[in-house]
Structure 1
Amino acid sequence: MHSHGLEITPRPDLPAIVARWQREITPIELQTGYFAILAAADELGCWRWLLDLRRREELASPALTTWMNADFFPQLVGRYANPVRIAFLISPLRAAHGQSDSSVAVISTAVRPDSSYFTSLFTDEAVAYRWLAQ
């Protein structure tokens, strides 16, 4: 499935949904893309997601971080049989340049006492798949 600069691929062998952004995107495309991922996950009942961000620039902004934490992530609570696990895959170069202001880094390091969903940041796809399988 291709839309919003995003390719969504179900991987029943993992099992996971792999979403890869194929180009630079706007904040609206990012939000639309996340809802497309959610729709694909709902269709498959899949709570493991690998989001490949290596082909697009970081869209770091307080507004997007707020949207993710206040609007998008709360929709994941209790949605599936298990808490959602989201592996964010970034390039080693982006990781080396520091992620302190990155919305993905902020999201992936946030403490969630209710454990309703888990996120983590990766530069190695194989390592990300192993984490998703936990």
Structure 2
Amino acid sequence: MQDFGLEITPRPDLPAIVARWQREITESELQHGYLGILAAGDVLGCWRWLLDLRRREELATPALTAWVNAEFFPRLLHRYPAPVRIAFLISPLRAATEQSASSAAAISAAAHPEQGYQTALFTDEATAYHWLAQ
């Protein structure tokens, strides 16, 4: 599935959903992409997601952060048999230069399994898959 600059691929062998942004996107496209990932998770019964952010620039605004925290994450609580595990995959260069300002880094630092999700930030895809499988 590809929409809003996003390609969503089920990986039943992991099991996980891999979502890769293919281009620069707008805030609206990011929101629609997150909802698309959630819909794929519902269809597949899959609560392990790898979000590959390596092909797009950082997209962080107070409004988007508020939407993620107030609108998106609350939808995850009790949705699946286990908390959603979200692995954010970023490039090593981005991790070294933007981690303090990165929305993915901020979200990863504030994981809340009691609220229905856990997050982590990775620069290596294999390590991200290993974490998702736990």
**TM-score normalised by the chain length of structure 1:** 0.96
State the Cα RMSD in Å.
1.1
Q: Which whole-Å CA distance do the structure 1 matches of 2:70 and 2:81 have between them?
A: 22
Q: CA deviation at 1:102?
A: 1.5
SS at match of 2:99: coil
Range that drifts further, 33-42 or 93-102: 93-102
SS at match of 1:100: helix
- Please list every run of 5 or more consecutive structure 2 residues that lacks an aligned counterpart in the other structure: none
Deviations along 1:55-86, whole A, 9 cap, x unmatched? 00010112111111111000000000111000
Matched to 1:58, the amino acid is E
Matched with 1:13 is 13
Matched with 2:64 is 64
Give the count of matched residue pairs.
134
Q: Kindly, what percent of the aligned residue pairs are identical?
A: 75
- Please list every run of 5 or more consecutive structure 1 residues that lacks an aligned counterpart in the other structure: none
Q: Which whole-Å CA distance do the structure 2 matches of 1:111 and 1:121 have between them?
A: 11
CA contact (8 A) 1:90 1:122 kept: yes
Matched with 1:132 is 132
Q: Which whole-Å CA distance do the structure 2 matches of 1:112 and 1:56 have between them?
A: 26
Instruction: Kindly report structure 1 stretches of 4+ aligned residues shifted beyond 4 Å.
Output: none
Query: Normalized per residue, which structure has more helix?
Result: 2
Matched with 1:93 is 93
Q: Which whole-Å CA distance do the structure 1 matches of 2:119 and 2:99 have between them?
A: 15
CA contact (8 A) 2:111 2:117 kept: no
CA contact (8 A) 1:64 1:103 kept: no
**TM-score normalised by the chain length of structure 2:** 0.96
